[in-house]
Amino acid sequence: MDQNHRATLLREHYATLQSFWESVLERTGYCAILLGAGHQRFFFHDDQGPPFRPNPLMVQWLAQEKISENSWFIFSKDTDPILFFHQPDDFWHAATPAPEFLWDHLSLRVFSDLGALHTALQGCLKQCKSGEGKIAQISEDSPAASEGCVINPPAVIHALHFQRACKTEYELTKMRQASIQGARGHRAAQRAFSCGASEFEIHLAYLEAAGMNEWQLPYGNIIAQNHHASLLHYQYQDRQTGEHLNSLLIDAGANVDGYASDITRTYIGPTCYSQAAADLFAELLERMQTHQDALIYQLVPGANYVDLQAAMHQSLARILVDTGIVKCEPEEAFNSDLTVPFCPHGLGHLLGIQVHDVGGQQLDIDGQTNPPPEPYASLRLTRPLAEDMVITVEPGLYFIPMLLEKKRAEGAPIDWRLVELLIPFGGIRIEDNVRLLPKGAGVENLTRDAFANISESATP
């Protein structure tokens, strides 16, 4: 992206943020919003900790993933936003670069001394209040930065979270790039798997091709071979492969300037334990792909994702009956929730700065929520779909012994011989990241576009 284009996108991004945040001040009566970046945490009795992740609202404003701990940001009505950026003199660690390229959009003040930063911040907050005004402070377990700060007021948080679902063009640009980097990782993973690589080797191939450090990933890579694919968020990576490679489920994303992709693909292995089982799994894979296409086709602004979740289970019922795994009519399988143990997670979620982005169950700006109905308790997205939301569509079909055993005990109409045949494959998930376009214009499938883009640019 050239500098001019980037500047234009940033200007538009800030105009959107600015006008919405001003409307939040208006609605809630606060005179300013103060964001704290947060601070590094350590493990128990240790001087090491997980990688620092700053307040996501600051990521949205600062358009970069590296934000130093103990930095603060003030948004008020009549002045440019002010960033108090902490850059300590530290010979143990490299300094986090300040976002100099944002000079046009905010006042940047860089401090090496934390005490001086706090004094300047207090002075600035006092000016913002000018009398009786109150400041909404959004930060993680910090004391109030100054008198008159109200910590984490729900009215402000609800509004800001609700708004984050719909992306600006600038944010979409970041997410497209995160999709391309993720797609590169997936291609490398697929290649490694077809040559017999272990989960761990696939993980390394993924990181290298995606250009990601492990700490940058939006979530830990899920690289699951054979029966591991039945564990929805399988977190380890075996260094060895077994005698047979039946399947690979890889759920892995990338992160560009704080914005995520979240992509899953499932493949048949090069050395399946049984040809008959491989044929059945291949048929299921193909049908799941068609099933995902049909679900994506139904995405329009105003659609109800809870209905789509039910539609996913209806199609799953048909697939399971057609392939002989479930032995009753599809309607009966659907109505008795027999498909739920075959796919106990939700169809998808909002995506953005966080992989499971905030506000998915929020109905409005005031924070009214819409909890998912039974039996879909894991569904993270229950609010009406809207233009420029980016969501995931990730239907699954798994053979999870601990869930299916309960059905066996209940005498459910399931062909247990076929289930036993399929357990060594674990399961299937196919996950794309999709942007809602205006009614009638279809969708932008960031994931498929990314795979197409890297295929076109690949050297023969």
Smallest distance, Mn ion to C-beta of residue 235, A: 13
Q: Which of 426, 103, 388, 56 is nearest to 245 (CA)?
A: 426
Report the alpha-carbon distance of residue 425 to residue 427 in Å, rounded: 6
Smallest distance, ligand GLY to C-beta of residue 231, A: 12
Of these, 316, 431, 433, 450, which contacts ligand GLY (CB under 6 A)? 431
Smallest distance, ligand GLY to C-beta of residue 190, A: 17
Q: Which does 219 bind (CB under 5 to 8 A by kind): ligand GLY, Mn ion, none?
A: ligand GLY
Using Cβ positions, the residue closest to ligand GLY within the complex turns out to be 251
Q: Which does 357 bind (CB under 5 to 8 A by kind): ligand GLY, Mn ion, none?
A: none
Amino acid type, 243: E
CB 138 within 8 A of CB 33: yes
Smallest distance, ligand GLY to C-beta of residue 191, A: 21
CB neighbourhood size of 151 (10 A) = 17
Smallest distance, ligand GLY to C-beta of residue 209, A: 18
| Gyration radius of the chain over CA positions | 24
CB neighbourhood size of 43 (10 A) = 9
Residue closer to ligand GLY by CB (options 257, 357) is 357
Residue closer to ligand GLY by CB (options 257, 431) is 431
Residue closer to Mn ion by CB (options 82, 232) is 232
CB 256 within 8 A of CB 190: no
Residues in touch with Mn ion (CB under 5 A) = 251, 262, 264, 392, 431
φ, ψ (nearest 5 deg) of residue 179: -70, -40
Residue closer to ligand GLY by CB (options 349, 383) is 349
Residue closer to ligand GLY by CB (options 159, 224) is 224
Is residue 18 within a helix (H) or strand (E), and if so which, with residue range? helix 3-28
Residue closer to ligand GLY by CB (options 201, 431) is 431
Of these, 201, 251, 257, 432, which contacts ligand GLY (CB under 6 A)? 251
CB 359 within 8 A of CB 383: yes
Q: Which of 300, 291, 303 is nearest to 382 (CA)?
A: 303
Smallest distance, ligand GLY to C-beta of residue 377, A: 15
Site residues (CB under 6 A) for ligand GLY, limited to 256-295: 262
Smallest distance, ligand GLY to C-beta of residue 390, A: 13
CB neighbourhood size of 112 (10 A) = 12
Report the alpha-carbon distance of residue 450 to residue 185 in Å, rounded: 11
Smallest distance, Mn ion to C-beta of residue 407, A: 26
Residue closer to ligand GLY by CB (options 101, 219) is 219
Smallest distance, Mn ion to C-beta of residue 390, A: 11
Smallest distance, Mn ion to C-beta of residue 392, A: 4
Site string for ligand GLY, 179-218 (x = CB under 6 A): ----------------------------------------
CB 313 within 8 A of CB 334: yes
Report the alpha-carbon distance of residue 269 to residue 100 in Å, rounded: 48
Report the alpha-carbon distance of residue 107 to residue 85 in Å, rounded: 10
432 near ligand GLY, judged by CB under 6 A: no
Residue closer to ligand GLY by CB (options 52, 219) is 219
Report the alpha-carbon distance of residue 192 to residue 247 in Å, rounded: 13
Q: How many residues bind ligand GLY (CB under 6 A)?
A: 6
Residue closer to ligand GLY by CB (options 319, 379) is 379
Of these, 199, 201, 394, 432, which contacts ligand GLY (CB under 6 A)? 394
φ, ψ (nearest 5 deg) of residue 380: -95, -5
CB 176 within 8 A of CB 263: no
219 near ligand GLY, judged by CB under 6 A: yes
Residue closer to ligand GLY by CB (options 199, 431) is 431
Q: How far is CA 452 from CA 146, 153, 267, 276, 457, in A?
A: 52, 44, 18, 32, 9
Site string for ligand GLY, 42-71 (x = CB under 6 A): ------------------------------
Both tokens assigned to 212? 């990601």
Smallest distance, ligand GLY to C-beta of residue 394, A: 6
Q: How far is CA 201 from CA 224, 225, 238, 248, in A?
A: 12, 12, 9, 13
Report the alpha-carbon distance of residue 192 to residue 358 in Å, rounded: 34
Residue closer to Mn ion by CB (options 76, 264) is 264
Site residues (CB under 6 A) for ligand GLY, limited to 309-368: 355
DSSP string, 146-185: STTEEES-HHHHHHHHHHHTBPPHHHHHHHHHHHHHHHHH
What sections of 362-426 are H helices per DSSP? 401-409, 416-422
Binding site for ligand GLY (CB under 6 A): 219, 251, 262, 355, 394, 431
